[in-house]
A and B are shown apart, each in its own frame.
Chain A
Amino acid sequence: MPVSTFRAEFLDTVSGLARGAASPGLALFLWLLCVGAAWAGEWLPLANDGIHDPRSRAVKILQQPREALQGLTPDHAGNQVRWVQVLEKGEIRPREKLFPQTVVQKLDLDVILDAKGGMPAVRFPHRPHTEWLDCVNCHDGLFAKSVGQSKISMFKILQGEQCGVCHGAVAFPLTECARCHSIPRPGQSKPVIPAGIDPRIHQAIGQGQK
């Protein structure tokens, strides 16, 4: 039995059990199980992913996501790959430029954005972003180059603006609250700024492929 049918059947069975469950405790337990199963996740074959035409010759030729992604550091959301770590560990070596004259710019600077409304503060790390992106992808269109100028809000993010341009579309999804709201506040109004943040600007010129 293909894994996908197995999972569908398994979920059907469990949902049946949950519906018939006598106690709310059991139902809750079963439901949590389903959530677990959903999180375990898997990559669908292209032919039944809902956007490829199963009658097209291409679905037999194109690479299946499972084949490309299953060996990489896993995650439970998005592509089910922890892209930052995959790059850091050298599991993939994506090219940084096509043209020899392109200047590759990187920055190692964390910006702490103090969220209102009791959520843990947000740490925006430049380093993993500038590994993938160029400054012009964010400055000065999406964000100003000075802290506090950009009036970032969760409302706009959830509408696909600001951080939500990428997060929720291509970079890890917005359901991962704690990955951004990563600085817990033990009761005080000021966020705890971690020691050892070292703001340095690296300009790696002509570094080429790394």
Chain B
Amino acid sequence: MKILSKLRASIAVAAVLILSAVMFVDINDAQAEYGDVVINNYSDGAGMRPVVFPHWFHRVRFRCKVCHADLGFKFQAGGNEINMVKIIDGQFCGACHNGDIAWSVENCNLCHSGKPGTPTQVHESTVQKLAQPSGAKK
């Protein structure tokens, strides 16, 4: 009986420790804001910093439908093949970042603000967290 309860206790401790290890790795890691999208199909190659698109900032000002219905942004990080020609032509980011609705394209640094080498993806997503062991490089 005694052995059994000791065994049970140590299993409980082990379980708690494993769980907390998982938690801590996760917590101490730097975390992008939920929904931040890094777009880096071409930037690294062109010697620019990757683009960081913050959903939280834009959804305070615009509903999803403005971008994802009216302006035709597909729901896929990197899936719209955005480039500067399209932006200057008034497509995608350029529909607003034209000096009219928002500041215009000459503020290169404000969009191209990511760490060089960061891959194209939406950050802090549930799928990403499930697929990657916590603590893996994001």
Instruction: Using CB atoms and an 8 Å cutoff, list the residues of chain A in contact with chain B.
Output: 8, 11, 15, 18-19, 21, 23-24, 27-28, 31, 34-35, 37-38, 43-44, 48-53, 56-59, 61-63, 65, 68-69, 78-79, 81, 83, 92, 94-99, 102, 104, 131-134, 136-137, 158-160, 164-170, 173-175
In Å, the complex CA distance between A137 and B71 comes to: 12
| Chain B contact residues, CB within 8 Å of chain A | 9, 12-13, 16-17, 19-20, 23-24, 26-36, 38, 49, 52, 54-57, 59-66, 68-71, 75, 95-96, 101, 109-110, 113-116, 118, 122-123, 125-127, 130, 138
Contact A68 B56 (CB under 8 A): yes
Q: Report the separation of the CA atoms of residues A61 and B114 in the bound assembly, to the nearest whole angstrom.
A: 14
Q: Which 3 A-B pairs have the closest CB atoms?
A: A50-B30, A168-B126, A58-B113
Residues of B within 8 A of A97 (CB): 65-66, 70
B58 to chain A: closest residue by CB: A94
**Contact between chains at B65 and A137 (CB < 8 Å):** yes
Q: Which residue of B lies closest to A58 (CB)?
A: B113
Q: How far is the CB of B103 from chain A (nearest CB, A)?
A: 11
- Tell whether A133 pairs with B60 under 8 Å between CB atoms, given A170-B122, A173-B34: no
| Residue from A27, A34, A79, A95 in contact with B34 in the complex, judged by beta carbons closer than 8 Å | A79
B12 engages A28 (CB within 8 Å): yes
Cβ-defined contact, A137 with B69, below 8 A: yes
Instruction: Determine how close the nearest CB of chain B comes to the CB of A82; give it in whole angstroms.
Output: 13
A59 to B138, CA, bound (A): 19
Query: Are the CB atoms of B30 and A49 closer together than 8 Å?
Result: yes
A173 cross-chain contacts in B, Cβ below 8 A: 34, 125-126
Contact between B36 and A51 (Cβ–Cβ < 8 Å)? yes
A134 contacts across to B, CB distance below 8 A: 65, 68-69
Q: Are A53 and B113 in contact (CB under 8 A)?
A: yes
Please measure, in the bound complex, the distance between the C-alpha atom of A11 and the C-alpha atom of B24, giving whole angstroms: 8
Question: Is B66's CB under 8 angstroms from A133's CB?
Answer: no
**Whole-angstrom CA separation of A38 from B20 in the bound complex:** 11
User: Are B127 and A158 closer than 8 Å at their CB atoms?
Assistant: yes
Decide if B68 touches A133 in the complex (CB within 8 Å). yes
Residues on B with C-beta less than 8 A from A44 are 30-31, 33
In the bound complex, do residue B32 and residue A50 qualify as a contact, i.e. CB atoms below 8 Å apart?
yes
Contact present for A53 and B49 (CB under 8 Å): yes
CB–CB B28/A8 < 8 A = yes
Cross-chain contact A166 with B75 (CB below 8 angstroms)? yes
Q: Is A169 in contact with B125, judged by CB distance below 8 angstroms?
A: yes
Q: Are A79 and B64 in contact (CB under 8 A)?
A: no
**Chain B residues with CB under 8 A of A35:** 23
Which B residues are in CB contact (< 8 Å) with A28?
Answer: 12, 16
Apart from A65-B33, A81-B56, A134-B69: 20 A-B pairs, beta carbons within 8 A: A18-B16, A28-B16, A31-B20, A44-B30, A53-B115, A53-B116, A57-B109, A58-B109, A61-B109, A68-B56, A69-B56, A79-B34, A83-B59, A94-B61, A96-B63, A98-B71, A99-B70, A104-B65, A158-B127, A170-B35
A49 and B31 in contact, given A34-B20, A98-B71 (Cβ under 8 angstroms): yes
Point out the residues of chain B lying under 8 angstroms from A11, CB to CB: 24, 27-28
Contact partner of B113 (CB less than 8 A), chosen from A38, A50, A59, A63, is: A59
**The one of B30, B56, B68, B126 that contacts A48, using a Cβ cutoff of 8 Å:** B30
